[in-house]
Every structure is written in structure tokens, then in C-alpha cells.
Amino acid sequence: MFKISNDNISIRIATPEDAKIVNTWRNDGNIMKSMCFPNGTGESIETTANEIASYEKKLSKFCMIEVDGNIIGDVDFRINTENGYAGFDILIGSIDYQNKGYGTKILRLIIDHIFNDEEINKTVQVHTIDILVAKYNTRARHVYEKLGFKIDREDPPFVNHRGEIQHEVCYIFKREWHT
């Protein structure tokens, strides 16, 4: 069973029971505003549960983050076996646990896993990890840059569900930059 543990951090597969807390975070505008959703995503619990279930038995994983046994957020990563790209999403939903170094540590563990995991490497050698981030999400951008991600491109602006124009930047991290 997939699990990454490091000090007091544990990254484990999400279960159907985790859909409730993930859905609560996603519907909280205060938590989601940095991800272009100032009113939350408005998604139903069924949608969240289906998304979690869609990762079952795949190299891609939808995981819960625990610190000292407390659930503090979720992180998922997606392996594209066709083209060798991987992507991820991270949400530290417990605001008390943001800005304490956990996001940086967790993403370092996820990057190591994507590039080093035997099961993944048997199927595909991921060459690039990419992530789209809101231009104004300066904290996430700072964390990605600290980890060694570089800007690949700025996508054309799009209109969100509130009719607001949003700008996103795509960061990439190449296998050869991983030490």
C-alpha cells in the first residue's frame, strides 16, 4: 500500500471517507481564493468522491497529508504514461498548518517519488513535472521556485465562474534538475 512517511509527515492514499473534508476545503472561499476560487469551487460531495475513486489502482495517486496524525490537506499527482509528463495539485486545507514549511517538504517528497519510484519507472520515465498556478498566488510560486521549478510559459487569460479575468503561469521541473 502506497505511503510516504517522513518525520511527523505522512502522505497516504485518500479513502472514500476523506471526500467530506476535501469537499469542505474546496467549498471554502477563504482557502480556495489563492487558486482562483474566491467563493469555493461549488462542487458536490459526489464529484469529490468520484475524483478520489478515479485514482484507484493507478500510478497516479490522490493522497491525504497528515501531520502528527492530524489530516491537514491533500496532494495528488498524475503520471501521464503516454508522454512522460507528471502533474500535481496540493492544498493545505488547515490554515493553521500553512506557512510552517510543510508544503515545501511535502512537494520535495512527491517530486522524489515521481522520479525515483520503481513502479513508475518500470512503466514510464517521467521527464517533466508541470504545474499551473494563478499568477497572483505568490506564495505557491515562491515555493515552486525554491524547489527549482522554472517558468515555462504564461497561459492566455481565462474567465472564471465569477466572470473575472484570471492569469495563470505554467512552471516546469525537469528530471535532470533533480539532485
Ligand X SMILES: CC(C)(COP(=O)(O)OP(=O)(O)OC[C@H]1O[C@@H](n2cnc3c(N)ncnc32)[C@H](O)[C@@H]1OP(=O)(O)O)[C@@H](O)C(=O)NCCC(=O)NCCS
Would you tell me which residues interact with ligand X (CB under 6 A)? 34-35, 90-92, 98-104, 131, 133, 137-140, 142-143, 146
What is the smallest separation between the CB atom of 107 and ligand X, expressed in angstroms?
Answer: 7
Residue with Cβ nearer ligand X (79 or 92)? 92
Spell out the long-range contacts of 112-116 with Cβ–Cβ below 8 A and sequence spacing 24 or more: 112/178, 113/4, 113/77, 114/77, 114/79, 114/86, 114/88, 115/175, 115/178
Radius of gyration of the chain (CA): 16
* CA distances for 77 relative to 11, 30, 74, 113, angstroms: 12, 24, 10, 10
Give me the amino acid identity at 68. Answer: D
What is the smallest separation between the CB atom of 103 and ligand X, expressed in angstroms?
Answer: 2
- Contact at 8 Å (CB) between 131 and 26? no
Residue with Cβ nearer ligand X (19 or 168)? 168
Residue with Cβ nearer ligand X (5 or 123)? 5
What is the smallest separation between the CB atom of 119 and ligand X, expressed in angstroms?
Answer: 25
Residue with Cβ nearer ligand X (120 or 131)? 131
Residue with Cβ nearer ligand X (95 or 125)? 95
What is the smallest separation between the CB atom of 26 and ligand X, expressed in angstroms?
Answer: 10
Strand partners, 10: 5, 66
- The grid coordinates listed for 30 are 477563504
What is the smallest separation between the CB atom of 25 and ligand X, expressed in angstroms?
Answer: 9
- Contact at 8 Å (CB) between 131 and 90? no
